[in-house]
Amino acid sequence: MKAIAFTILLLLSELALATNLRGRVDIRHPYTGDLFPASGATVELILFTNFGPQLVYTYFTGSDGMYYMPSIIPGNYILRINGYLDYQIQVVNMPYQDLQPVLMQ
Amino acid sequence: MDREIAGIMLSFALYLTYFLIPLVPSILIYKIFPSTSVVASGSFSGLKVNSSGAFAAYLITLVISINALSETEARILEIRNPNEPTWSIIGTLELRDGEGNVINNPLLFDLLEISLEPRVLSSANGDIHFKIPGSPDGSPPKRMITLDVKGFGRGKINLTSEAALTGSDMVVNYQTRTIEFSEPIEITTLTQPGQKYSETSYMTPVTGAGE
């Protein structure tokens, strides 16, 4: 019984440490210079471990340019856009975290 | 690797196998049992053969190998001469914004990916020219080709029906197996004109994060 209770507590503690990430990718219109949401952008969340980079999550933005990454363990990550634009981010321990928008060049 | 080159390399490997495999028993017989009398006589490829010893062993194994490898040879020929002929898709791409204005930015073509459903076969930039497998009966391929400029938008080439192939901007040449577009293939951005954002502060990219 104690073991079950311990397991449940352990699982709940894991859940409490998970953050739902949200952010937006923009693109500058090459013709007019206006800013638009970048649809179809590949957003990857990468964790650097002792064994090298580890892909944690991949998301393809919709027409609103938004990306959503549920249940991310707090820590330091690299947010990679379209495989070439890297941003260093810190995921904090809170239920939801909005990241600063990213501009695709 | 190109099918033709792969076919030639496989043919070469097969002929090498034809030559080398029979050598193994003949060398073994020659080395281990020099006094064993192996005799081969009869007709082989229209020639009268009457040999003995290691050479006879070589001949016997050669005949067995030819029969065993004939199926492999047929498969290699299939690779070199595929049943499905290829068709060339030739055209020019044109980028447009949500309001229909043409965008002249060749850098965006660097992000272009061309994919086929059900599988990806080729990619190109700006002017496109690629080959895709046709139908076994020699008619044009019945496929939907997606042209994806990542982060910008998508265009589609619909070849899924006979009606789609009779489009006014599409010239289908059955002789040269070419589908050529007389008008640019439009790739429209998925962003909506009303979705413009005001200037805001953005994250600063880092370099060498993974190094």
**pLDDT value for A9:** 53
| Confidence band, pLDDT 50/70/90 cuts, at residue B4 | low
**pLDDT value for B122:** 47
**pLDDT value for B118:** 44
Q: How far apart are the C-alpha atoms of B20 and B58, rounded to whole Å?
A: 10
Q: Which residues of B touch A89 (CB under 8 A)?
A: 203
Q: Which of residues 77-106 of B touch A (CB under 8 A)?
A: 97, 101, 103-105
Q: Is A87 left (phi over 0), alpha (psi -120 to 50) or beta?
A: beta
| Confidence band, pLDDT 50/70/90 cuts, at residue A6 | low
Q: How far apart are the C-alpha atoms of B194 and B197, rounded to whole Å?
A: 9
More confident of the two residues B184 and B104? B184
Does A40 contact B104 at a Cβ distance shorter than 8 Å?
no
B92 pLDDT more than 60: yes
What CATH number is given to the structural domain containing A78?
2.60.40.10
A51 pLDDT more than 50: yes
**pLDDT value for B86:** 65
Q: Give how far B146 is from chain A: nearest CA, Å.
A: 13
CB of A23 closer than 8 Å to CB of A102: yes
- ipTM for the assembly: 0.73
Highest mean pLDDT among A11-20, A90-99, B43-52, B178-187: A90-99
Residues 6 or more apart in contact with residue B101 via CB below 8 angstroms? A31
Q: How far apart are the C-alpha atoms of B115 and B126, rounded to whole Å?
A: 15
B64 pLDDT more than 50: yes
* % of chain A beyond a pLDDT of 90: 40
**pLDDT value for B47:** 65
Q: In the predicted model, what is the mean pLDDT of residues A1-23?
A: 67
Q: Which residues of A touch B203 (CB under 8 A)?
A: 79, 87, 89, 99-103
**Which range marks the domain in which residue A41 is found?**
2-104
- In this complex, is the C-beta atom of A49 within 8 Å of any C-beta atom belonging to chain B? no
- Residue-wise pLDDT for B21-59, tens only, equals 777 777 877 777 666 666 667 766 666 766 666 777 777
Q: Which one of A21, A22, A28, A29 makes the best mutation probe of the B interface by having the most chain B beta carbons within 10 Å?
A: A29
What value does the mean pLDDT of chain A take? 83
> Which amino acid appears at position A96 of this protein?
Y
The beta strand positions in A29-72, using DSSP E, are: 35-37, 42-49, 52-60, 66-72
**pLDDT value for B77:** 66
Q: In the predicted model, what is the mean pLDDT of residues B81-106?
A: 74
Of A27-36, A64-73, B116-125, the one with minimum mean pLDDT is B116-125
Q: What is the pTM of this model?
A: 0.40
- Residue-wise pLDDT for A52-81, tens only, equals 889 999 988 877 788 999 999 999 999 999
CB of B179 closer than 8 Å to CB of B88: yes
Domain count, chain A: 1
